[in-house]
């Protein structure tokens, strides 16, 4: 990832023309799109947790996690839940038809899977998608892993049957709220395990509850991906941005595949950091101007709203904010 950084900056806006090979109903209100390159070439290899931008016309860009097999690079698969009150992204996706052309970005990863001996995956609803390639990778590497997948009802839970069939009930726990109530997070997360990382994706209420419980786990054990809905538009990861280091007097471009922390350290500016995963708070940095998109699990809601500090190991500039000025 690092060696192509400069190139990525130059080509950050680069897009790929694809054709929609198939549109499948993955669950109630969830469609699954299979995409192939228009030129027939394979896609570049990508890592579990990666997403693509989907350009939906009229400037509408949305990010969707990839959930196709890692080794089958002839296609990419995304799963999209139709959200009734969304600003139109999911509705536009649900109107797409097989055979239509579409513009997407190269796969990018803001939710990388770190190496560990054990994994616990927790999915809420459509949050299952980035976890599917992680599960595949964990299984292939012979890791000890479990998935707990909760949803409103079985009919709404995309890929649940397929996962259950492939990996079996010892690995996969499906919890449909209409049958068994909500996921019992106290039971699921009540006993931290050594060398186990928790990867969770789902609605922010669920992730908040998971974060609360993981305060009893080793710092750095929990990794989450939030469904981002910045007031300024689509999630920020689709664009590189500039960070002005007020004290150092330099400006650094942060490419899409790098953290502010990495980019800043590369120009020789030191930032005290520890977990580098948005969990310990060591790299907290004052914001002088600009709007951040917080991706950490440390700052409170009040902190986020105040916008005075950010954790530069994971958080980024909000979409529509091309420049952050930081006290570095």
Q: How far is CA 207 from CA 14, 225, 264, 277, 322, in A?
A: 32, 8, 29, 15, 28
> In the complex with another protein, which residue's Cβ is closer, 265 or 291?
265
Does the protein bind another protein through residue 184 (CB under 8 A)? no
Does the protein bind another protein through residue 114 (CB under 8 A)? no
Among 100, 153, 274, 289, indicate the residue that binds another protein (CB under 8 A). 274
Could you tell me which stretch among 2-10, 64-72, 97-105, 272-280 binds another protein (CB under 8 A)?
Answer: 272-280
189: part of which helix (H) or strand (E)? helix 185-189
What is the distance between the alpha carbons of residues 249 and 125, in angstroms, rounded to a whole number? 45
Does the protein bind another protein through residue 208 (CB under 8 A)? no
> Which position has the token pair 């069939």?
165
What sign does the CA torsion over 264, 269, 274, 279 have? negative
Does the protein bind another protein through residue 233 (CB under 8 A)? no
Rule CB under 8 A: which of 276-305 touch another protein?
280-282, 284, 298-300, 302-303
Could you tell me which stretch among 102-110, 136-144, 249-257, 275-283 binds another protein (CB under 8 A)?
Answer: 275-283
Sequence-distant (≥ 6) Cβ neighbours of residue 10 within 8 angstroms: none
122: part of which helix (H) or strand (E)? strand 118-124
Q: Which of 144, 147, 142 is nearest to 169 (CA)?
A: 147
Query: Closest distance between another protein and the C-beta of residue 144, in Å?
Result: 12
Does the protein bind another protein through residue 231 (CB under 8 A)? no
> In the complex with another protein, which residue's Cβ is closer, 177 or 303?
303
> In the complex with another protein, which residue's Cβ is closer, 69 or 190?
190
Sequence-distant (≥ 6) Cβ neighbours of residue 43 within 8 angstroms: 16, 37, 73, 74, 75, 76, 107
Does the protein bind another protein through residue 195 (CB under 8 A)? yes
Query: Closest distance between another protein and the C-beta of residue 260, in Å?
Result: 17
Chain residues that interact with another protein, rule: CB under 8 A: 190-195, 212-213, 215-219, 247, 270, 272-274, 280-282, 284, 298-300, 302-303, 309
């Amino acid at each position: 990832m690092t060696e192509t950084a400069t190139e990525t900056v130059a080509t950050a806006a680069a897009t790929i023309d694809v054709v929609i090979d198939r549109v499948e109903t993955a669950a109630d209100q969830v469609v699954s799109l299979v995409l192939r390159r228009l030129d027939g070439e394979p896609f570049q290899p990508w890592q579990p947790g990666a997403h693509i931008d989907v350009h939906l016309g009229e400037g509408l860009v949305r990010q969707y996690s990839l959930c196709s097999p890692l080794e089958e690079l002839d296609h990419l698969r995304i799963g999209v839940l139709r959200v009734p009150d969304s600003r139109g992204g999911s509705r536009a996706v649900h109107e797409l038809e097989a055979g239509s052309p579409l513009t997407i970005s190269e796969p990018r990863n803001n939710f990388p899977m770190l190496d560990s001996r054990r994994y616990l995956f927790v999915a809420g609803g459509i949050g299952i998608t980035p976890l599917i390639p992680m599960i595949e990778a964990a299984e292939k590497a012979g890791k000890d892993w479990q998935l707990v997948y909760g949803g409103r009802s079985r009919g709404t839970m995309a890929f649940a049957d397929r996962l259950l069939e492939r990996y079996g009930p010892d690995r996969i726990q499906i919890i449909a709220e209409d049958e068994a109530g909500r996921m019992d997070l106290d039971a699921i997360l009540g006993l931290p395990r050594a060398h186990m990382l928790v990867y969770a994706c789902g609605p922010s209420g669920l992730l908040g509850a998971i974060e609360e419980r993981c305060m009893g786990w080793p710092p750095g054990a929990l990794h989450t991906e939030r469904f981002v809905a910045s007031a300024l538009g689509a999630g920020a990861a689709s664009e590189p941005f500039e960070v002005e280091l007020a004290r150092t007097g330099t400006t650094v471009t942060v490419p899409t595949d790098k953290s502010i922390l990495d980019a800043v350290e590369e120009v020789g500016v030191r930032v005290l950091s520890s977990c580098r995963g948005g969990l310990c708070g060591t790299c907290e940095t004052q914001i002088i101007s600009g709007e951040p998109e917080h991706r950490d699990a440390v700052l409170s809601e009040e902190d986020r709203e105040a916008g005075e500090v950010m954790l530069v190991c994971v958080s980024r500039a909000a979409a529509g904010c091309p420049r952050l000025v930081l006290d570095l």
